[in-house]
Amino acid sequence: MIVTTVVTLGVHNSLAGDHPLYLDSSQPLEARIDDLLSRLTLEEKISLVHADSKFGTAENARLGIPRRWLSDGPNGVREDIGPATWAPASHTDDFSTAMPTPICLAATWNPELSYEEGVAIGEEARARGKDIMLAPCVNILRTPLSGRSFEFLGEDPFLTARMAVGYIRGEQSQDVASCVKHFAVNNQEYARDSINVEVDERVLREIYLPAFFAAVKEANVWTVMGAYNQFRGQHCCENDYLLNKILKTEWGFQGLVVSDWNGTHSTPKAEANGLDLEMGTDIAYDQYYFAQPYYDGLKKGTFSIAKLDDKVRRNLRVMFVTHSFDPNRKAGAFNTPKHHKIAGQIAEEGIILLKNEGNLLPLDPKGIKSIAVIGENALRPHSHGGGSSEIKPFYEISPLQGILSRVGHQVNVTYSEGYQKDADSELAARAISAAKASDVVIYIGGLNHDYDNEGQDRKDLKLPAGQDELIQKIVAANPKTVVVMEGTVVDMSVWVDRVPALLEAWYPGMEGGNALAGVLFGEVNPSGKLPCTFPKRLLDSPAHALGAYPGTNGTMIYKEGLLVGYRWFDSKQIEPQFPFGFGLSYTTFEYSNLKLVNEQGPNGLLVTAQFDVANKGDRMGAEVAQLYIHQKAPSCFRPEKELKGFKKLLLKPKEKQTITIPLSRSAFAFYDAEKQGWVAEKDEFEISIGSSSRDIRIRNELRLSETSITK
């Protein structure tokens, strides 16, 4: 029987007195890989391509190959488990900074901040002894019901790519390999282990692959995780087209492909179709598809030694580029004040002001004697939930704590729970009484990880626990009510018109309560923008309007094609509750002087959009200027407009800045499946710039004088 923990086997001479090339960090990378590969026995090679614990692969003491530790997740380093169970390991050194969830990070529209988060999580991963971090998740938010939508970076491939590239570059700067996931078209939790996704090639390339492409080609990500679902009849973790043809051959990916946990189903298919590391299969480790069955097939000549060597090379390459063999590998640090500050800044910049009638916000504590804080989410922690993205933080500041810390010394703050999962009429009655007796109400509601959770999709967009009715009664009792939604997208249609002020806070991490209080009382000017469309009702969303979700007879056909998110709402002229890119401020911004400067430069640079943005108010504030492109007479269908650039800028009161957004030829192109390339057609294009997808302030036109095709 093949062993999964490799110790000294006596096959080669001891390394004592030997100075192998692979341990010399001054040698070329591939030479080090070649040298170590030549020293491995067949059993030792096999030990490198499958797990020997829930999140680890075997140590090789003979050759000094260290044990590798993998860990979730996208908003911090997960609590330790196992090694052979999903139960917590009960360690006392596995606390981590709980960052806001990725949907909140995406709402910042700040790639530089994404980079800083990546650095912070990378530092904590190294301090915790982790080698590969299973993030970021760049699947597109196709349906608002998706149970993992809080882990996504929104509905748009361009925004997702920009945020992911920053995150990966930051994390990998700390001698940790990022693992971009889940490759590919893994956009729902319902039947995720078996659902077969059918999507045409153009849609695949324009909507669902760009963020993965950017991760590989721009961020140089070192690991890619295959998805649970099937794509065109073949499981993604053993999908020849996705892994061999696109990822490794077309894109030239040199890192390793890891399975999702229990995502491998066949030794022959996984061996042939591009998998390099099998994790989490729900059987004994020595019986993994890449363990004893693979070893037996290699001994019989059923499988290729050359393919095994390629898999081993890829595993070793990731170990070398993250300096796993080098004595000066970065040691990291965790739970530092800087990390907590980054968590707070992401929460601050990710909170979105959706409504502010009569300038109710920001609240001035000098003019308020009493505040009623209402809602279960005012005290409920979120970080230790959601599935694989759960974090064990030292602390988590609740909204109530944040409010008390800011104004508790000068305002009488009362708390009423208002609702629970099992509705309680007495709770509601007490909340309404508290609302009547206070000057201002701050309602903290929305969802929690009972609803937003890995492994399940939500049934609908309704608020749970009778919140729709409760909010209406509270506003009737006290018109000065600020509603704060935590979680992901919900149907607000029954009460949104009655509420004067509305904030979306997502799952804001361990500093979330402080960040929210900063926004509520004006120490922070909100600057978040929606990374996804909020529909008025579920049936306005494309996958549901067309009856495509949750699939039929085990197959999901992406009937909406290119029209995901705002592309659908714009092209079909459907009014959303709140549009993609939307977010208000406590100040106002003016756009002017759009010029298109023709350029021919590196990386296909074609034109630069140059324009001015001015802060017209008396508060410092940040604005996200968004650039969309519309082709006027395309030869094939194209969405009404598509995001192709954005810039976040901070402006002092009355300050004006000139902004430049470079555009390459690829920004104007669509994918032609027959030509197997990107086509930028000879045509006129409208460049529109504004504060959201539905708030365009300035426009200009550009004409491409010739058609070009880029492979």
pLDDT reading at 445 higher than 60: yes
Q: For 470-521, how does the pLDDT look when each residue is reduced to its tens digit (9 = 90+)?
A: 999 999 999 999 999 999 999 999 999 999 999 999 999 999 999 999 999 9
Which pLDDT score is estimated for 599?
82
Q: How far is CA 453 from CA 347, 390, 560, 565, in A?
A: 20, 10, 25, 21
pLDDT reading at 10 higher than 60: no
Of 53, 181, 66, 177, nearest to 121 by C-alpha is 177
- As to burial, measured by CB atoms within 10 angstroms (0-12 exposed, 13-18 middle, 19+ buried), residue 332 is buried
Question: For the chain, what percentages of helix, strand and coil (3-state, to nearest 5) are there?
Answer: 30, 25, 45
Position 6 confidence tier, pLDDT thresholds 50, 70, 90: very low
Position 604 confidence tier, pLDDT thresholds 50, 70, 90: confident
Q: Say if residues 76 and 60 touch (Cβ distance below 8 Å).
A: no
Q: For 225-262, how does the pLDDT look when each residue is reduced to its tens digit (9 = 90+)?
A: 999 999 999 999 999 999 999 999 999 999 999 999 99
Which pLDDT score is estimated for 19?
84
Q: For 533-577, how does the pLDDT look when each residue is reduced to its tens digit (9 = 90+)?
A: 999 999 999 999 999 999 999 999 999 999 999 999 999 999 999
Which pLDDT score is estimated for 82?
87
Residue that has been written with the tokens 């794509």 in this structure? 231
Which pLDDT score is estimated for 600?
76
Q: Which SS3 state, helix, strand or coil, does residue 676 take?
A: coil
pLDDT reading at 11 higher than 70: no
Q: For 280-331, how does the pLDDT look when each residue is reduced to its tens digit (9 = 90+)?
A: 999 999 999 999 999 999 999 999 999 999 999 999 999 999 999 999 999 9
Q: Cα torsion at 179, 185, 186, 191 (round to 10°)? A: -150
* CA 298, 303, 305, 308 torsion-angle sign: negative
For residue 201 the two structure tokens come to 């090639």
* Helices and strands in the chain, H and E counts: 17, 26
Q: Are strands 223-226 and 481-486 parallel, antiparallel or unpaired?
A: unpaired
**pLDDT cut 90: percent of the chain above it:** 95
Instruction: Indicate the CATH number of 337-571 among 3.90.79.10, 3.40.50.2300, 3.40.30.160, 3.40.50.1700.
Output: 3.40.50.1700
**d(Cα 594, Cα 645) in Å, to the nearest integer?**
14
For the whole model, what pTM was predicted? 0.97
Cα first-last separation, the chain: 48
What phi and psi values does residue 698 have, to the nearest 5 degrees?
-140, 150
Q: For 511-538, how does the pLDDT look when each residue is reduced to its tens digit (9 = 90+)?
A: 999 999 999 999 999 999 999 999 999 9
Q: Which SS3 state, helix, strand or coil, does residue 10 take?
A: coil
**d(Cα 535, Cα 461) in Å, to the nearest integer?**
10
For residue 591 the two structure tokens come to 């756009």
The set of catalytic residues is 260
Q: Is the peptide bond before 544 cis (omega within 30 degrees of 0)?
A: no
* CA 383, 347, 497, 696 torsion-angle sign: negative
Name beta bridge partners: 551: none
Which pLDDT score is estimated for 9?
35
Q: Which SS3 state, helix, strand or coil, does residue 198 take?
A: strand
CATH class of 589-710: mainly beta
Which pLDDT score is estimated for 199?
98
Position 16 confidence tier, pLDDT thresholds 50, 70, 90: very low
Q: Say if residues 148 and 95 touch (Cβ distance below 8 Å).
A: no
**d(Cα 192, Cα 622) in Å, to the nearest integer?**
39
DSSP tag of 137 = B
DSSP string, 317-377: HHHHHTTTT-TT------S-HHHHHHHHHHHHHH-EEEEEGGG-PSP-GGG-SEEEEESGG
Q: How far is CA 322 from CA 5, 278, 367, 455, 687, in A?
A: 22, 20, 56, 31, 42
Which pLDDT score is estimated for 424?
83
**d(Cα 170, Cα 180) in Å, to the nearest integer?**
13
Mean pLDDT of the chain: 96
Burial 529-560 (b: 16+ CB within 10 A, else e): bbbbbbbbebebbbbbbbebbbbeeeebebeb
Domain spans, the chain: 337-571, 589-710
pLDDT reading at 17 higher than 70: no
**Higher-scoring residue by pLDDT: 598, 437:** 437
Rg (CA), the chain: 26
**Higher-scoring residue by pLDDT: 82, 454:** 454
**d(Cα 549, Cα 465) in Å, to the nearest integer?**
25
pLDDT reading at 665 higher than 60: yes
pLDDT reading at 15 higher than 70: no
Position 12 confidence tier, pLDDT thresholds 50, 70, 90: very low
Which pLDDT score is estimated for 425?
85
* CA 625, 586, 117, 98 torsion-angle sign: negative
Position 2 confidence tier, pLDDT thresholds 50, 70, 90: low
